[in-house]
Amino acid sequence: MLYLDFFYRGVRCREQTALPDTAENRRRVQSLMSRISREIKQGLFDYAATFPESPRAAKFAASPTGAVGTFPTMAGGNPLPAAPATPDTPSFSDFSVTWRKEMAPQWRRQHQDSVDATFDAHLLAEFGERPVGSITKADVLTFRAKLAKLPGRSSPKLSPATINRTMGLLRQCLTEASERFGTPDAFRGVKRLKGRRPDVKPFSLEEVEKIRNTIRPDYRNYVTCRFFTGMRTGEINGLKWKYVDFENEVIQVREVFSAGRSEENAKTESSIRDIPMLPMVKQALELQWEERDRDVEYVFCSRGGYPVDAHNFANRIWYPLLRYLELEKRRPYQTRHTAATLMLAAGENPEWIARLMGHTNTQMLFTVYSRFVPNLTRQDGLAFTGLVNRKTASPTPTRLSDAEIDALDPAALRELLKRQLADQSPTRNHSP
């Protein structure tokens, strides 16, 4: 049977319920526990009204000097306000295990592995045996300062993005503990670190052609599809022939391959999409189909029939090729950025590009690739300026025939000549 365990007036109280331990009953009891914690904080909790049959109800209803305990008083006999009691909470280590199990159904396997690695590397070492309710804002800030001094994988210190990811997991865990046990939120007022957005370094069309023409023939179709579909590394490495629809000329993104395993859950809901085959992509896939191993379900694979390994491709094929071509070192993921920027430069509809890339909307497209959108840089405002100039320009002087000029009297002729000289003056449009 479920029971409640909490502190009231400095006394630990346990109250038994008649409810079996089921998921539904846990939610009901947790709701009651949250209300009790809230009323205790506000000084509104009535023990007898909540637990009328409890033996403690009469004791708490008695004077502050009752049998439960003696409360100190100030001069004049008024009782001192009771110090807030620290709830009896599980250790951070134990609660983190519970929290991760509860969150696991909504996480992809790769994300679960990343979360577990972060807890093992940083969070459990710092907070493992401490009661989760005793962790304060000062502890959180101290921990973040420690992270900022640790070396990164390819830099002297951890990047703000890496620190924010670690702190984000800690925030989620402690926030859930705060709501569940009625403890103060240790992350109240703690903001994310500001970090520099990674710079996008796409390849030019000339560089793309250099790479396609120079790379090993068995990887030519692979890089062609990467450059002209914008697929993520896990999406193209996990592509299977059953998702290639030559009849309708689309590639169905349904699975990803990462960390040595294939899984059906894509990165986001919008990542599950159909990508139209551009002519060069269709040609590459048709060539790949003709050379395929009929016993292998993956479109791009190694000689052993396994999907392309991202690390092996980068270190053994990609980076040596860039060095050979004397091109700046860039990650293979830049092929995705290249696809987006080439399409934007060609003037394709941004909404179509966003759907093709697997973005929810065009916001990320303009945020990441703004400098590659035509007329979004360098020529900003020229179209508007031209419109204004056309509307405000002086009308072209009307040319009079010889007969009309002969018919003018001397005063009108002098006025006409004066206007024409003013229109031809070089300082006409430069008056202060």
Residue 146: inside a domain, yes or no? yes
Whether residues 265 and 343 fall in one domain? yes
What are 32's two structure tokens?
């009651």
The answer to whether residues 176 and 252 belong to one domain is no
340 lies in some domain: yes
The confidence score (pLDDT) of residue 108 equals: 80
Assess if residue 378 is contained within a domain.
Answer: no
Specify whether 242 is located in the same domain as 168: no
The domain of 139 spans: 92-181
pLDDT at 420 over 80: no
Q: What value does the mean pLDDT take over residues 298-305?
A: 89
In this structure, are 211 and 152 located in the same domain? no
- Which is more confident, 334 or 368? 334
In a domain, 391, yes or no: no
* Token digits of residue 178: 């705060």
Is the pLDDT score of 252 beyond 50?
yes
Report the DSSP beta bridge partners of residue 298.
240
Residue 129, both tokens: 């045996």
Asked whether residue 172 falls in the same domain as residue 227, the answer is: no
Q: Which residues contact 153 (CB under 8 A, 6 or more apart)?
A: none
Question: What pTM value is reported for the model?
Answer: 0.60
For residue 108, being part of any structural domain is answered with yes
Q: What's the rounded Cα separation, in Å, for the pair 107 and 109?
A: 6
Q: Which residues pair with 253 in a beta bridge?
A: 273
Residues 288 and 352 in one domain: yes
Look at residue 277 and tell me if it is in a domain: yes
Q: Are residue 365 and residue 240 in the same domain, yes or no?
A: yes
Q: Residue 166: which residues within 8 A CB-CB, separation 6 or more? A: 118, 122, 123, 147
Cα 367 to Cα 7, 197, 334: the distances in Å are: 50, 10, 16
pLDDT at 64: 47
**CA 288 to centroid of chain Cα atoms:** 34
Q: What angle do CA 81, 43, 77 make, to 5 degrees?
A: 30
Q: What is the pLDDT of residue 74?
A: 42
Amino acid, single-letter form, for residue 283? Q
432/65 Cα distance (integer angstroms): 89
Weakest-pLDDT range from 64-73, 217-226, 360-369 = 64-73
Closest CA to 296 of 239, 349, 339: 239
pLDDT band at 389 (very low <50, low <70, confident <90, very high): low
Q: How confident is the model at residue 247 (pLDDT cuts 50, 70, 90)?
A: very high
**CA 215/CA 332 separation, integer angstroms:** 13
Number of neighbours of residue 354 by Cβ within 10 angstroms:
19
- 265 & 354 share domain: yes
Asked if residue 259 and residue 111 are part of one domain, the reply reads: no
Domain end among 181, 215, 230 = 181
How big is the chain, counted in residues? 432
Whether residue 156 sits in one domain with residue 106: yes
Verify that 363 and 215 share a domain, yes or no: yes
Check pLDDT > 80 for residue 399: no
pLDDT at residue 63, rounded to an integer = 41
> What's the structural domain count of the chain?
3
Q: Is residue 83 part of a domain?
A: no
Q: Considering only 20-29, 271-280, 417-426, which range has the smallest mean pLDDT?
A: 417-426
- What's 163's domain CATH number? 1.10.150
Question: Does residue 53 lie in a domain region?
Answer: yes
- What is the per-residue pLDDT across 320-365, written as a single tens digit (0 to 9) for each? 999 999 999 999 999 999 999 899 888 888 888 888 888 877 887 7
Q: Do 160 and 306 sit in the same domain of this protein?
A: no
- The pairing of beta strand 3-8 with beta strand 11-16: antiparallel
Boundary of a domain, candidates 130, 147, 181: 181
